[in-house]
Amino acid sequence: MTLRLSTASVTGLALALMMAVPASATPETTTSPNGGALPSGVTRVGGVVVDLKANDGTRVVSQLSASQMYRGFANVSENPVPGVATGNPLLFGTQTGFTPAVLANLASGLQSASFRITLFDGDTSPGNFDFNQNTFSVNGILVGNWSDVVTYETNADGTTLLSTSTGFGNNILSTGFFSLTDIAKLTSLFDSLVATGEMRFTLFDDDPNDNFFDFTQGVAGGLINVGTGPVVTPPSGAVPEPSTWALMLLGFGAVGAALRRTRHTQRVRFAFG
């Protein structure tokens, strides 16, 4: 028996298979909109990842562990760890470690900043009860609306992408990037880092205490404590250090000496008919 399928049938079958089988990789959660691929030590999902990019191309990246973040209603905390606090705005995490030595790498000025956040049950997607009612700030500086962010629903450890949406959805694990490029706000952010050495992440809700937030999910149990302080990545076109120049000059000298020896050992031969 010969089975004949129309083009429409084949196309429909292919689409059905694509929808039924989730993607097995999540580069969307490990690629910053401002700085590109995140360092290898950053987990696929979980916590808050900060990516600061200076005008000279230097990047400073940090990750606040999911275990050090808020869980509960805005007025009742279920994870009493340092750096979180109830209230409106809700303080859901604090990243420390922005020392003068780290900030010196950003002396050329901030070009951009991105903040990757993982949240379970955000309720800010279209149709959710907190749609367009929550805003995100860092050190009191408004960054954006939770409903405007492109988010990725994944499994617990971020290895499988399940869906893409805007806003942080109801009863799902969502990860998305907030992006900041406004120069005035970036200047204020840098000044606040110089003054305090930390970033305080807050959520303001137009009608507080109506949602249970869980910022502690997002990585598998064995990785739950993964978190790093600021890590500096020099720009790709950075000028070599003096020691590097010295090694390069020594190398050039060795090559030149070898060429001279080659020329001195060459013999000229004449052929006579």
Please state the pTM of the whole predicted model. 0.77
When pLDDT is averaged across residues 72-77 and rounded to a whole number, the result is 98
At residue 26 the predicted structure's pLDDT band, cuts being 50, 70 and 90, is confident
Handedness of CA 238, 244, 247, 253 (dihedral sign): positive
pLDDT at 263: 45
If pLDDT is split at 50, 70 and 90, which confidence band does 4 have? low
Beta-carbon neighbour count of residue 49 at 10 Å?
Answer: 27
**Mean pLDDT value of segment 197-219:** 96
pLDDT computed for residue 230 by the predictor: 87
Give the residue extent of every domain in the chain: 21-233
